């Protein structure tokens, strides 16, 4: 019997089991929150960034902030923009990590269920978050101008 | 499950495509992170991506991004349940609100990117 099933309060019985059953699964809550929010943010914000910064800007159809050094530094230095960029980049990676891990499971890679795979995928999302924080803090000084 | 099961029915295939959308989106965001870092190169060394190959890559990623958006936001009607005056809000209205939010966010982000891009 798996660890998950054996922890059901009905099988353990008694007051101790009932207390444990009501203990919030904080880690579970955290990862599902990150997965859901990452999915929402990617759905709502990414298409417009890709359209404008990846297609219309490079083709010269519209002026875009990242096409010139001065305009890019001006906008990236804003602390609100830095916070926005952190949310925009970091959250979706937790969503991607979960989906890609289960993509491998669905495609018949049982190792993707294991703890090492979880460490690689979710650890990868944490690593991207830390790198993003580092880049945002060290690339352009914070400026309100 | 037999290998290649997802190729046997179209809804299985599109389910796998939905899961796969994460990969191109992740790659594009990593590029975006590089673009942010390039601001460190100074005015003389700053060269944003602008090749035709990058535009083609972005077009392909945009298709995956739109598929992710449509499928993910459409699920909101099944996941979110709200009552107003003890009456449940119709799921179609919830989905519509998600698409409206997507449209509004796109307009705001697009405006900021273009407005602050004027030289």
Write a three-state SS string for chain B. CCCCHHHCCHHHHHHHHHHHCHHHHHHHHHHHHHHHHHHHHHHHHCCCCCCHHHHHHHHHHHHHHHHHHHHHHHCHHHHCCCEECCEECCHHHHHHHHHHHHHHHHHHHHHHHHHCCCC
Rama region for A109: left / alpha / beta (φ>0; ψ in -120 to 50; rest): beta
Range A97-106, long-range pairs (CB < 8 A, 24+ positions): A97/A121, A97/A122, A97/A124, A97/A125, A98/A31, A98/A35, A98/A122, A99/B19, A99/B21, A99/B22, A100/B19, A100/B22, A100/B23, A100/B26, A102/B19, A103/B16, A103/B19, A103/B20, A103/B22, A106/B1, A106/B6, A106/B16, A106/B19
Q: Is pLDDT at A31 greater than 70 in this prediction? A: yes
User: What percent of chain B shows pLDDT beyond 90?
Assistant: 66
The reply to whether residue A106 touches residue B19, judged by beta carbons under 8 angstroms, is yes
A19 confidence band (pLDDT: 50, 70, 90): low
Closest in A40, A46, A136 to B25, CB measured:
A46
CB of B32 within 8 A of CB of B49?
no
- The predicted structure's pLDDT at residue B41: 85
- At A50, list the tokens: 């890709």
Hey, what domains does chain A have and what are their CATH numbers?
Answer: 25-138 (1.20.1300.10)
The reply to whether residue A135 touches residue B102, judged by beta carbons under 8 angstroms, is no
Q: Is pLDDT at A87 greater than 70 in this prediction? A: yes
List the 27-56 stretch of A: residues with Cβ below 8 A of B.
Answer: 39-40, 42-55
CB of A58 within 8 A of CB of B54?
yes
pTM of the predicted model, to two decimals? 0.86
- The predicted structure's pLDDT at residue B1: 73
Mean predicted confidence (pLDDT) in A121-139: 96
Q: List the single range of A134-143, B52-61, B83-92 with lowest mean pLDDT.
A: B83-92
Q: List the single range of A76-85, B10-19, B35-44 with lowest mean pLDDT.
A: B35-44
Q: Is pLDDT at B119 greater than 90 in this prediction? A: no
Q: At what angle do helices A79-106 and B22-37 cross, to 10 degrees?
A: 150
Average pLDDT of chain A to the nearest whole number: 86
A18 confidence band (pLDDT: 50, 70, 90): low
Average pLDDT of chain B to the nearest whole number: 92
A4 confidence band (pLDDT: 50, 70, 90): very low
The reply to whether residue A52 touches residue B110, judged by beta carbons under 8 angstroms, is yes
């Amino acid at each position: 019997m798996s660890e998950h099933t054996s922890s059901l309060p009905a099988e353990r019985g008694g007051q101790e089991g009932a207390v444990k059953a009501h203990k919030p699964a904080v880690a579970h809550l955290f990862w599902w929150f990150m997965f859901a929010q990452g999915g929402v943010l990617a759905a709502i914000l990414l298409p417009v960034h890709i359209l404008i910064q990846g297609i219309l800007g490079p083709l010269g159809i519209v002026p875009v902030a990242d096409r010139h050094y001065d305009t890019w530094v001006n906008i990236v230095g804003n602390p609100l923009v830095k916070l926005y960029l952190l949310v925009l980049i970091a959250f979706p990676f937790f969503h991607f990590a979960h989906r890609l891990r289960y993509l491998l499971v669905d495609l018949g890679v049982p190792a993707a269920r294991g703890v090492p795979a979880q460490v690689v995928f979710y650890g990868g999302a944490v690593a991207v978050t830390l790198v993003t924080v580092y880049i945002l803090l060290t690339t352009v000084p914070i400026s309100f101008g | 499950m037999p290998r290649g099961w997802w190729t046997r029915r179209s809804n299985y295939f599109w389910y796998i495509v939905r899961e796969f959308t994460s990969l191109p989106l992740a790659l594009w965001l990593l590029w975006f992170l590089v673009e942010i870092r390039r601001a460190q190169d100074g005015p003389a060394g700053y060269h944003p991506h602008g090749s035709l190959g990058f535009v083609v890559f972005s077009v392909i990623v945009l298709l995956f991004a739109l598929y992710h958006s449509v499928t993910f936001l459409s699920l909101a009607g099944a996941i979110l349940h709200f009552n107003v005056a003890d009456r449940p809000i119709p799921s179609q209205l919830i989905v519509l609100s998600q698409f409206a939010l997507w449209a509004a966010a796109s307009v705001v982000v697009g405006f900021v990117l273009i407005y602050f891009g004027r030289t």
